[in-house]
Structure 1
Amino acid sequence: MKLHTLIRALPFAHLPKENPEISGLAQDNRLVTENSLFICIKGWTVDGHEFAKDAVARGAAAVLAEKPMELGVPVIVVKDTKRAMAILSDVFYGQPSRQLHMVGITGTNGKTTTSHIIEKIYRDAGRCTGLIGTMYMKIGDETFKTKNTTPDSLTLQKTFHEMVEKHVTDCVMEVSSHALIQGRVHGCDYDIAVFTNLTQDHLDYHKTMAEYRRAKSLLFSQLGNSYNQNKPKYAVLNADDPASKEFEQVTAAPVVTYGIDAPADFMAKNIDMHAHGTTFTLVTPYEEQEVNLQLVGKFSVYNVLAAVAAGCISNVPLSSIVKSVEEMEGVRGRFELVKGGQDFTVIVDYAHTPDSLENVLKTVQQFAKKKIFVVVGCGGDRDKTKRPVMAKIACQYATDAIFTSDNPRSEDPLEILREMEAGVKGLAYDVIPDRREAIKTAVSRAQKGDVVIIAGKGHETYQIIGSEVHDFDDRKVALDMIKER
């Protein structure tokens, strides 16, 4: 694509005399190829403008920047390169999201599980699917690693283009609040926006719950203001979450609701939970059906209801949807059973917010016959206000709470633990900073019929201490301790 053709999408952008052919876009100078357009992005720690000369040396034919630069190639100056990158990426890759059926899922908890259930519903219905989220990225049957829950706009548009090239019809993706505020999903033409729930998290970034809620609302306001019967858009909202009222106000799209307590389009009644599954009556606008899940917990029922609603408005037959959700065995690190032949239950879960930890422990209370052990910590360089809250929840809903390190990152692990302890003065608990020792202690103390919950890291296979990343998998460590015992 010619440079002039590409940058005409930017209002009032100055067209340079030179008009080179642009063969690719790059925001990382190390990834520049011959005749690329290099985009200078100011990050939290690195300013891309400092690498512009190197990008040109590597073959960049032009540079997009926020200030004039003498580089020997055309330099297009704009006010905001991040915003411009989203526009140019969409144009360069041929607006690929318009050629896909796009589902975006936002919320504090449940995004990963809900996205996997929806993806399975589509795949079982014979569609070719793509998936983008916390754990990985999938294009058809190929899986790729991801750095963030929601990648930057350039990576997204390139990925959508690859999906289109590989005949993907439906893309399901998690959309984080950071991505919404930072404009990473600008240019994504969503057809369905799904809201799971809103509870305390990321206040280190958003500062207040009101700002956090506003960030989430952007997914629904960005569904647009027009009605295209050939490509209809829907907002799928949790009727039991108060934030849905605000999201309903900010979207012009038709609203489809799901819930358990408040009246909704899709509901679950007669819920019955046990250690290895959940049954309930699914009530839909069409009919009622009995559902037997292999997933455990009320939170799992909410995730399934959201997925069922998305499946139905995507014209997947209800019988096919129910079959898919009943076959779902769960998602790695989400209420995942660790089986080593022991006579007690060990569960690894990603619960890293007060609400998710409370949900997991309340679920365990419904089937635990004896003691409940919980091993839990809080991440460093993240929302500090939730630390005493999570500690209190651990002591309130478990019989034996063990506080340990999560990913302390640049913070002192002992200081994080002290902040957790501030919320449980006078209550009984143990503090074991070394996570491996903490898991070993819980497993060694558990007796027949007890339940051990290892919370916070879920699917992660690492632990970040200082600037170092160490191999650490809660599931593997727990299994090793079970076998050692």
Structure 2
Amino acid sequence: MKLSELCSEFKYECLSGSMDVDVRDVIYDSRKITEGTVFVCMVGAVTDGHKYIPDAVKKGASAIVVERADEAQQIPDQITVIQVESARRALAYMSAALFGHPDRKLVTIGITGTKGKTTTTYMIKSVLEMAGKKVGLIGTIGAMIGDEHIPSKNTTPESYELHRMFAAMVEAGCEYVVMEVSSQGLKLDRTAGILFDYGVFTNLSPDHIGPAEHESFEEYLYCKSLLFRQCRVGIVNADDPHWEEILKGHTCQVRTFSAEGNDVKDQVVDLFASDIGYINEGGRLGMHFTVSGCMDCKVKVHIPGRFSVYNAMVTMLVCNLVGIPDRAVLDGLEKVQVKGRVEILPVSKDYSMIIDYAHNEVSTRSVLTTLLEYHPKRLICVYGGGGNRSKLRRYDMGEVTGELADLCVLTCDNPRDEEIRDINADIKVGLAKSNGKYIEIDDRKEAIAYCMTHAKPGDMIVLLGKGHEDYQEIKGVKYHFDEREAVAEILDEIKSGERTVEA
């Protein structure tokens, strides 16, 4: 592809060479430069791509993209040099062109907010798939293209990886992509040039504020708001106190949803939830509610917690706008489960078993307070702590579980290079602050088995920390461990008489 084609949709100045030069690939990691590539000198918090210009020259790059004109002086005349205001934005536009603008061949659904992004992307994906659509997903736990899972370092990948994923989705026959759009992704122009068909705002609370992320809450909010300047339709939670600030400067049509009041500035919201109630049926937990507006019906979702109502409303609005029949949406919502996010395992009609990825104080408090709304006879937590991580997180986890749970079973998570007993000793410091009751069983499967064989009617057993993970990392080795498989094995062992259930 000609360099001029790659650069056709953004402003640049050609400092030397020809724009007709052929380019085989766009590179921003100097280690991957080969002959015939264009090297984009990105400036980051840790390193400055301009210092790798000698490497790019030595390895035969056809062109180099710089932000500072004085850097061109060290580049031989036969190499094309273009100057741009932002190398990150240039990378995004060039990557889109390189892969043939795959985002324009998909229905793009981007979700931003502090909480609920992962769960909501999976809910939308699941409901669309149940309606017969092929859907790609990009987010916290990587990307999914059909049944293929692709790990990712960032919630919103770098623009080159993002467009490569889009292209793979198009190749695989996907019609839709649902993705988490993080504030960092927006701030760092990873989604620059994409016009999302639908942009969603879930909620906002202070997070990701610090030297390496956002300078202030105001900057965090501003970065979130950028999504609504690059989408056709914006779908906004009108119950969040920041919704009007999120829409400042927006260029999209606006749709709203609410569970607290059915008018926004004297205009009726597009979807309003009322008659909200809790489902606790034979070990299955969830929510039921009634909606009015663009859909008028009763809704059931088997994911516990009031936040599930909001996530479900986003799913309903998106699916309604893309033309999915109401019945298919409702059927999909009733069946949907999100792996590792308050995931209910159907193990018994007498007690509930839940898997959740919560592994810090904030997320643990959220999931436990949600489960307490169902008034369990006992709330039992099985968890450990990550090795080679902050001890403060362990103290906080111990304190919150000691405060809210009836029993904590301390066990193995990903101890990495630390000893399980040392990690649990730190957790016990927090447990002592809240006088939490606990026992210790180092083997995670045995810890789960203890809870299952000692469960009483009405109990809720929540397995914290692993969520979607299917491994344990111990002394530098990753061992396969999936809690769903462990629970199924324990059930088989109980049925065969290998394990005895305590009366």
Normalised by the shorter chain, which TM-score bucket?
A: 0.7 to 0.9
Q: Note the C-alpha offset of 1:283.
A: 1.2
* Cα deviation 1:136-189 (Å, max 9, x = unaligned): 423456543333221111111233334445554322111223322322222221
Alpha carbons 1:374, 1:452 under 8 Å: kept: yes
Residue equivalent to 1:229: none
Question: Which deviates more from structure 2 when the two are superposed, residues 8-17 or residues 416-425?
Answer: 416-425
| Distance change (3 Å), C-alpha of 1:287 and 1:85 | closer
Residue 128 (structure 2) aligned to one of 122, 132, 140: 122
Of the candidates 330, 349, 369, which is equivalent to residue 322 of structure 1? 330
Please give the TM-score of this superposition, normalised by the length of structure 1: 0.80
Choose 1 or 2 for highest CA Rg: 2
Alignment partner, residue 16 of structure 2: 16
Equivalent AA in structure 1 for residue 161 of structure 2: T
- TM-score of the superposed pair, with normalisation by structure 2: 0.78
Question: Structure 1: 5+ residue runs without aligned partners?
Answer: 226-231
Is residue 266 of structure 2 the alignment partner of residue 266 of structure 1?
no
Q: Look up the match of 1:228.
A: none
**1:363: how far off?**
3.6
Q: CA deviation at 1:101?
A: 2.2
SS of the aligned residue for 1:233 comes to strand
Write the distance in 2 (CA, Å) between the matches of 1:58 and 1:478: 53
1:73-112 aligned within 5 A:
73-78=79-84, 80-112=86-118
Query: Residues 184 and 56 of structure 1: is their aligned pair in 2 closer, same or farther, counting only changes over 3 Å?
Result: same
Matches within 5 A, 1:219-368: 219-224=224-229, 233-263=232-262, 264=269, 265-274=271-280, 275-328=283-336, 330-338=337-345, 344-352=351-359, 354-367=361-374
Deviation of 1:339 (Å): 5.9
**Counterpart of 1:191 in 2: which secondary structure?**
strand
Inter-partner Cα distance in structure 1 for 2:388 and 2:247: 33
CA distance, structure 2, for counterparts of residue 108 and residue 17 of structure 1:
46
How far apart, CA to CA, are the structure 2 residues paired with 1:206 and 1:424?
Answer: 34
Decide whether the 8 Å contact of 1:268 with 1:301 is kept in 2: no
Confirm whether residue 456 of structure 1 aligns to residue 461 of structure 2: no
The more displaced of 445-454 and 413-422 is: 413-422
Q: CA separation of 1:401/1:166 partners in 2, compared to 1, >3 Å: closer, same or farther? A: closer
The 3 A distance-change label for structure 1 pair 103 and 315 is same
The CA deviation string for residues 102-147 of structure 1, in whole angstroms up to 9 with x for no partner, is 1111223322221122223334445443221223423456543333
| C-alpha separation in 2, matches of 1:252 and 1:134 | 27
1:13 partner letter: E
Distance between the aligned counterparts of 2:481 and 2:316, measured in 1?
35
Q: Distance in 2 between matches of 1:383 and 1:428?
A: 21
Residue 436 of structure 1 is matched in structure 2 by 444
Question: Alpha carbons of 1:396 and 1:240: their partners in 2 closer, same or farther (altered >3 Å)?
Answer: farther
Match for 1:335: what amino acid? V
How far, CA to CA, are the matches of 1:241 and 1:128 in structure 2? 32
Give a deviation string over 1:443-473, Cα, whole Å, max 9, x none.
3784333322122331023456797766554
Q: How many residues of Structure 1 are paired with residues of Structure 2 in the alignment?
A: 477
Q: 1:236: how far off?
A: 1.8
Cα deviation, 1:3-29, whole Å, max 9, x if unaligned, reads: 244346553422422442112212235
Aligned positions of 1:399-414 closer than 5 A: 399-402=406-409
Aligned-residue CA RMSD (Å): 4.1
CA contact (8 A) 1:344 1:446 kept: no
- What CA distance in whole angstroms lies between the structure 1 residues aligned with 2:462 and 2:64? 51
- Secondary structure of 1:347's aligned partner: strand
The alpha-carbon deviation at position 74 of structure 1 amounts to: 3.3
After alignment, is 135-144 or 455-464 more displaced? 135-144
Per-residue deviation, residues 290-318 of structure 1 (Å, max 9, x unmatched)? 22333333232221111111222333332
Partner Cα separation in structure 2 for residue 125 and residue 339 of structure 1:
24
SS of the equivalent of 1:360 reads: helix
**More moved, 375-384 vs 126-135:** 375-384
Corresponding position of 1:2: 2
212-221 or 407-416: bigger deviation = 407-416
* 8 Å CA contact retained: 1:461, 1:471: yes
Match status 1:180 vs 2:189: no
Task: Tell me: CA distance 1:223–1:454, structure 2 relative to 1, closer, same or farther (3 Å).
Answer: same
Counterpart of 1:425 in structure 2 is 433
Change (3 A) 1:335 1:20: same
- Distance in 2 (CA, whole Å) between partners of 1:22 and 1:472 is 45
Q: Distance in 1 between matches of 2:413 and 2:210?
A: 17
CA distance in structure 2 between the partners assigned to 1:283 and 1:318 by the alignment: 12
User: How far does the alpha carbon of each residue in 1:234-275 deviate from its partner, in whole angstroms, 9 at most, with x for none?
Assistant: 222223332324323453433323233343533142423213
The answer as to whether partners of 1:362 and 1:397 remain within 8 angstroms in 2 is yes
Deviation at 1:203, TM superposition (A): 4.3
Query: Secondary structure of the equivalent of 1:242?
Result: coil
Write out per-residue CA displacement over residues 61-112 of structure 1, whole angstroms, 9 at most, x where no aligned residue.
2233454444774344556432321232234334433443211112233222
Structure-2 separation of matches of 1:359 and 1:285: 30
CA–CA distance in 1 between the matches of 2:412 and 2:129? 38
Deviation, 1:190, is 1.3
CA distance in structure 1 between the aligned counterparts of 2:392 and 2:250, rounded to whole angstroms: 31
Aligned match of 2:223: 218
CA distance in 2, matches of 1:463, 1:352: 14
Q: Matched residues in 1 for 2:409 and 2:304: separation? A: 23
Q: SS where residue 120 of structure 1 aligns?
A: helix
Contact 1:299 1:359 in 2 (8 A): no
Aligned to 1:154: 160
**1:37 is aligned to 2:46:** no
Give 1:20's aligned amino acid.
V
**Which runs of no fewer than 5 residues in structure 2 stay unpaired?**
263-268
2: CA distance, partners of 1:389 / 1:198: 23
Residues 445 and 317 of structure 1: CA distance in aligned 2, closer, same or farther (over 3 Å): closer
The counterpart of 2:196, out of the listed 173, 180, 190, is: 190
**1:463/1:50 CA distance change after superposition, 3 Å:** farther
